[in-house]
Structure 1
């Protein structure tokens, strides 16, 4: 119909333009007709039924210009009259709308104050009319008596049902040994017994009431029982399940006995007051009295908000304790929410009072009569406590910590926070849907129409929420995998920690997962951001085209960067190095400390950090892959038996291979390789062993200690560097004077110093 209306308006505009262009001709035609028939025909022209396109064309074809002009004026006058009646002229600005809301806000309580002196009188008239409608006081007492009988029967049947279902309730577990599962089982069974009893009570009084009361009486009794008996009892059952005011050992929330009893009592009172408000408003309407006559609804509704403010202010310490919970891993955000929660409840109550006052001032009370504002306020107030519930569930449902140590604890806390954030988004979405349904708004239909900025904004937020959940799920999965890989790897040995390179690296997943996480999360952010922007009605095609052009520009202008990235991808595919491995990259040696999409960082065993782009790497030598062979050399005097040294090495290798501290580190035991060479000092004996990367330094240290001990036990000394000075013609060295000995020592020292300098130059 919108398109058809615009077509009709265009046709009428063209006709008006034609009329203005041919005004002289119209006057001549009017003179010929004598000016009498035209007015009569104009006033008698009506819109055809049905109003189709063909009918409009036919009507316009047989109408004169004066008739078209008069019809257009009549329609404009009707629109102006309608706007004047509603008080909202076309083209209302923002300030005019704000003024309308302000008038609606203050006029409603002002009107209630003005009518306050007549409240008792008007309410008395409503009650009097109700009494007369039911046949006087006797009729009312008869109805109340029959209602009491129905209630008595309902309570009796409920009592029998509770006795029959008593076996459902297991015995109360001891307070000092009750687990969470046992406590939940006891509370849930008790709650289900109460709900079952309430259902039996409801159906019993419904059947008995229909048998004892007529339709007119049921119109009064049914809301009274529902709002003043059923709702408070249901709220009390839910409150007992959560707060357990008389069973502190089974309490699901962090509250002491005083605040648990206080909140339980006042929550039931709040539900009773809210039900009485809805019942009183409905009673007046059924009695034929307008809400504007007594304004009792305004005062009772305001009392509900004041009661909520009273509860929040009086129990603010208990509410803070409730929101803190018992989770030891609370964050600063959780602590801030806990401290602000009582004031948040007060703000929600005050804000809802303002909203309801404005809606009532504007005359939009249909949804208020259904209690939509109470539903909204309930979910807004309960949402932070649901967050506390999520934290409690995550504490018990999160997978156990993988491994031990600070790294495992950090990963465990990160996992918990991810679960909590996912739960918060889901709860926020559910709460918004429930609030929308209470106001008769279907989110699916609302977004499918895609009309206006409001619907697009909702779809935008929903897209961001879905993207955030996907972001957290992917991050959670990768972080758990990374934590498992990192905590399952062997700890860094003391020798590597103090600066010796060559330790064992991490797994391949531990190297690739950080890059995968960065790439995946970046892709999710970009994709869902573009999708969310598209839901706002913005064409993302130019953004995609601009991104492509920008990518080409970066590709041509930063070819070295592209080379580094591509080279890094192939190095990772080839598994050339991993985080923690000791490598040699073009003469630069160090442990792989960090990798990115463009470069790698090597930390030398002396502490220097080298950043090397992948594009400049031609060859990588890995010293930490699979196994390590270490060769040790010992110099003994020339008169030492090599076979004896060989047996000592073999003995040491067998002992260490049987030692529980080293048996899992050896791939091949320590053994002798015989005589390597002769030098100026003595015989150089060499031994070797094969071990797992990262363990060779501890093994080497232990071998040194054991060789020194075995040599001492077998009378073998390590060769020392000596300088022998031969003096021709000196046959009696024992006859040298002190001066001659000092001269010889000085000459020998100079010779040793010269030899050391020559060896240094060769190195």
Structure 2
């Protein structure tokens, strides 16, 4: 019922081996052992002599029971080897098992140990040493059941980790380690019992040594330490499973960046649970260490008192560390930021990538990693909460039709709101706020929209692109930056005179015959240009001196 495959049985043996072969072998063993031993004991109770009883028992085990065990071990050694050593390899195309040499070693050891155990049993039975005979009989049973129990434990563990409660990404990564630790513990217990049985059969009397005061103390301490460590391991695995079921997959934590700080925001529980898990791990380790020390006979009271004094001294010497930890606690209690949010703290911007006990790690949208201790944070500017309003500016010429621009922006905002890709990310449509200010060469018209946190960058790009195209289609150009220089009246008068003089020279040159045009006219033009430049320089000097005098008076 326990071993036979489903649906006729529970099918507790792993599917990696031939369940029916295991069932048939164990059924044959049970039938031969029960029927054979019961028949011999019945004959013995009816007057069969001791010599004939031992001879019949030797024949039963040597020619029937032990061969059944050896046949099972050797015929199923490849399947058992895969389970014992967590191997996923199977026979190749040529029918060879990759670990065939290993699959020859352990069956040979099992065969030798069972044979030697039964031989010792026969010797002690013939000598009449009943106590040693029982000890070697126990060793024979442990050796016989070792692969079966190990196989059963492995199969049960595989079925256990296949339950829905264990289906978390984190546990799948450490599943093999969990199975290895439990199986190693079971194997150590079986090997310890086997060693004790053989030592007892060989006359070393380990049970008597353990029953003494010192032996019982060592055994009790060892068992307490083992139970404490095992219990701590089980509690930690339960805590991790509980938290992993509340947290998303680790692969989803590294949200895709769009180049300007947009990323997926974690919930408050996803932000606090990793820190809570770290604190629980520290507390659990302290409890396990204290329990182990207590089991070893160490008085933990003075240790706690000394640790408190040392803790006070360390606290005075590391006030900055304590400040960072306490500040971080209050920031997290206030829910000032969460994992995945885009924040500005201590003069730095970035996405919150990791939160530790004393610091936070920011990932700048250009890729740089910044670590900020909580104690350095005075204010937090969170750009990823609830909604974000972004204001955009346009530089348009003075003569633009402002009402026309307003209608164009409003129309674009409505289209963006109806867009199936952009619309769900917008909370309020794009709209114009009119002229915000007047600059030297342009009117500054502002428009704004409200979007979901992290999506404002995409909406902004689309808004700029569509507004530019719509204004270009309406014949409205953007204003360019330019500088206009206004001269004084004297400078404008000199420029006019210079211009008139150049026109006069040009007309005179055109009126003269070609042979009269030449060096004299060029010399006159050069002289006139020099005179004009000197006059302009004099005027500029006087203007600069006048302005400097005014500035000096203003400073006084």
TM, length-normalised to structure 2:
0.68
For residue 332 of structure 2, what is the aligned residue in structure 1?
572
For residue 172 of structure 2, what is the aligned residue in structure 1?
413
> Which deviates more from structure 2 when the two are superposed, residues 388-397 or residues 273-282?
273-282
Matched, 1:254 2:16: yes
Select the residue among 540, 553, 561 that pairs with 2:321: 561
Listed one character per residue, the Cα deviations across residues 613-651 of structure 1 (whole Å, up to 9, x for unaligned) are 222322222222222111111222322211111112211
Q: Secondary structure at the match of 1:693?
A: coil
Q: Secondary structure at the match of 1:591?
A: strand
For 1:564-603, what aligned pairs fall within 5 Å after superposition? 564-603=324-363
Matched, 1:661 2:424: no
For residue 672 of structure 1, what is the aligned residue in structure 2?
432
For residue 73 of structure 2, what is the aligned residue in structure 1?
312
Distance 1:611 1:260, change over 3 A: closer
Aligned counterparts of 1:343 and 1:385: Cα–Cα separation in 2:
18
Aligned counterparts of 1:685 and 1:714: Cα–Cα separation in 2:
17
Structure 2: which 5+ runs fail to align? 90-96, 199-210, 487-491, 507-556
Listed one character per residue, the Cα deviations across residues 707-755 of structure 1 (whole Å, up to 9, x for unaligned) are 122223322222233567899445999x9xxxxxxxxxxxxxxxxxxxx
Listed one character per residue, the Cα deviations across residues 415-453 of structure 1 (whole Å, up to 9, x for unaligned) are 8669857976997899899999x99xxxxxx9xx99332
Matched, 1:618 2:383: no
How many residues in Structure 1 have an aligned counterpart in Structure 2?
472
Listed one character per residue, the Cα deviations across residues 456-492 of structure 1 (whole Å, up to 9, x for unaligned) are 32232222222211111011111221227x7888x84
For 1:153-164, what aligned pairs fall within 5 Å after superposition? none
Q: Secondary structure at the match of 2:353?
A: strand
Q: Secondary structure at the match of 1:644?
A: helix
Select the residue among 690, 708, 711 that pairs with 2:468: 708
Q: Which has the higher helix share?
A: 1
Aligned counterparts of 2:360 and 2:398: Cα–Cα separation in 1:
50
TM, length-normalised to structure 1:
0.52
Distance 1:295 1:473, change over 3 A: same
Aligned counterparts of 2:435 and 2:406: Cα–Cα separation in 1:
9
Matched, 1:381 2:147: yes
Matched, 1:684 2:449: no
Q: Secondary structure at the match of 2:392?
A: strand
Q: Secondary structure at the match of 1:483?
A: coil
Q: CA deviation at 1:596?
A: 1.3
Listed one character per residue, the Cα deviations across residues 176-202 of structure 1 (whole Å, up to 9, x for unaligned) are xxxxxxxx9x9656449xxxxxxxxxx
Q: Secondary structure at the match of 1:560?
A: helix
Distance 1:432 1:322, change over 3 A: closer
For residue 539 of structure 1, what is the aligned residue in structure 2?
299
Q: Secondary structure at the match of 2:247?
A: helix
Matched, 1:517 2:277: yes
Distance 1:537 1:388, change over 3 A: same
Aligned counterparts of 1:502 and 1:191: Cα–Cα separation in 2:
55
Aligned counterparts of 2:359 and 2:171: Cα–Cα separation in 1:
30
For residue 473 of structure 1, what is the aligned residue in structure 2?
238
For residue 289 of structure 1, what is the aligned residue in structure 2?
50
Aligned counterparts of 2:337 and 2:231: Cα–Cα separation in 1:
37
RMSD across aligned positions (CA): 5.1
> Which deviates more from structure 2 when the two are superposed, residues 419-428 or residues 570-579?
419-428
Q: Secondary structure at the match of 2:424?
A: coil
Distance 1:345 1:470, change over 3 A: farther
Structure 1: which 5+ runs fail to align? 1-183, 193-240, 244-251, 329-334, 403-409, 440-445, 736-763
Distance 1:506 1:278, change over 3 A: same
